[in-house]
């Protein structure tokens, strides 16, 4: 059953696009926002469109990022105590800055992405350091009305707590504030690496993850060469400053909410 299998096992390949009229061979036409992300592969639905009762989730960026406006919600809700399902959430943290960034780079972006990976009741991510917080704290810190989001259940991990702790400890050297790189080492790259560790061989399926990484990979493609060279350095320095500052500002608030809930503050 493709609907009940782990996402990493049931995900199909990208659709083929007709080079003449840019429609998919099954007749579906992809979004055509001018100067949109141009390396985004199409997502082949893994769910049955003949099942109208399937609960769906959506966010304003879904159509522009993946070519579909909605996706099935994870079939197994995350329990309060957590479990060994690997759930990955993509958030839009850009707000009004998304349009500003688009004008700066001569592109139209559906979001400024942030990705968190949940397992065993905690969400792991890279801010100004490798960080983790209780899922319930993150639910309060990142409400959907402020941070549009979608979540995918990638499957069940067989990696135990000790192995996870050891991997995260090793990752702290790679994903450190001084090593932050907008193009090669940001929160999305951390999520990709962590998901691959938790689910070897499947991780975060490329048709879903590649468009998220494409946000930075092709950000400057529409700029003249001389502006691209300048923007490469400037945008990397600016984003590093913003991310480090954002992580520090939110840290106290996350710890305050964790304390109010009687939970471990994380790190």
155-210, pLDDT tens digit by residue?
999 999 999 999 999 999 999 877 777 667 888 999 999 999 999 999 999 889 98
Top-confidence residue, 125 or 106 = 125
DSSP tag of 179:
G
d(CA 49, CA 11): 15
Nearest to 35 by CA among 104, 113, 112, 97: 104
Tokens (6 digits) for 240? 């590093």
Question: Helices H, strands E: what count in the chain?
Answer: 8, 7
The answer to whether residues 196 and 190 touch, using CB atoms and an 8 Å cutoff, is no
DSSP tag of 113:
E
pLDDT at site 53: 73
pLDDT at site 14: 34
pLDDT at site 112: 82
CA distances from 4 to 10, 16, 48, 128, 216 (A): 9, 25, 11, 36, 33
Q: Where are the beta strands (DSSP E) in 35-192?
A: 56-58, 70-72, 85-92, 113-119, 122-126, 130-134, 149-156
d(CA 251, CA 131): 10
pLDDT at site 244: 59
pLDDT at site 119: 98
Nearest to 186 by CA among 132, 113, 263, 266: 113
41-100, pLDDT tens digit by residue?
457 777 776 666 778 999 999 998 898 899 999 989 999 999 999 999 999 987 777 676
130-158, pLDDT tens digit by residue?
999 999 989 988 899 999 999 999 999 99
3-state SS assignment for residue 252: helix
- Global pTM reads 0.72
Per-residue b or e along 222-257, where b marks 16 or more CB atoms closer than 10 Å to that residue's CB: ebeeeeeeebeeebbeebbeebbeebeebbeebbeb
Given a cut of 70, whether residue 103 has pLDDT beyond it is no
Bridge partners of 71, per DSSP, are 57
Whether the CA torsion 156, 161, 165, 170 is positive or negative: it is negative
Q: Which residues contact 135 (CB under 8 A, 6 or more apart)?
A: 78, 82, 118, 121, 122, 123
pLDDT at site 106: 62
pLDDT at site 229: 58
206-243, pLDDT tens digit by residue?
889 988 887 766 655 545 565 555 555 555 555 555 55
């Amino acid at each position: 059953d493709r609907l009940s299998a782990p996402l990493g096992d049931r995900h199909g390949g990208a659709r083929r696009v007709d080079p003449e009229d840019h429609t998919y061979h099954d007749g579906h036409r992809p979004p055509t926002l001018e100067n949109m992300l141009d390396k985004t592969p199409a997502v082949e639905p893994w769910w049955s469109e003949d099942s109208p009762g399937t609960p769906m989730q959506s966010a304003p960026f879904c159509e522009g990022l993946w070519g579909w406006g909605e996706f099935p919600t994870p079939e197994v809700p995350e329990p309060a105590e957590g479990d060994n399902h690997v759930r990955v959430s993509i958030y839009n943290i850009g707000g009004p800055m998304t349009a500003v960034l688009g004008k700066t780079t001569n592109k139209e972006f559906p979001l400024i992405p942030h990705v968190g990976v949940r397992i065993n009741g905690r969400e792991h991510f890279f801010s100004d350091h490798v960080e983790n917080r209780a899922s319930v704290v993150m639910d309060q810190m990142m409400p959907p009305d402020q941070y549009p989001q979608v979540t995918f259940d990638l499957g069940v991990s067989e990696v135990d707590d000790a192995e996870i702790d050891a991997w995260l400890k090793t990752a702290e050297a790679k994903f450190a504030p001084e090593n932050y790189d907008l193009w090669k080492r940001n929160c999305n790259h951390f999520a990709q690496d962590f998901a691959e560790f938790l689910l070897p061989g499947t991780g975060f399926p490329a048709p879903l993850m590649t468009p998220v990484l494409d946000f930075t990979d092709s950000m400057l493609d529409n700029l003249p060469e001389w502006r691209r060279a300048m923007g490469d350095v400037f945008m990397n320095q600016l984003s590093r400053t913003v991310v480090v500052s954002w992580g520090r500002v939110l840290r106290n608030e996350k710890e305050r909410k964790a304390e109010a809930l009687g939970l471990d503050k994380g790190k």
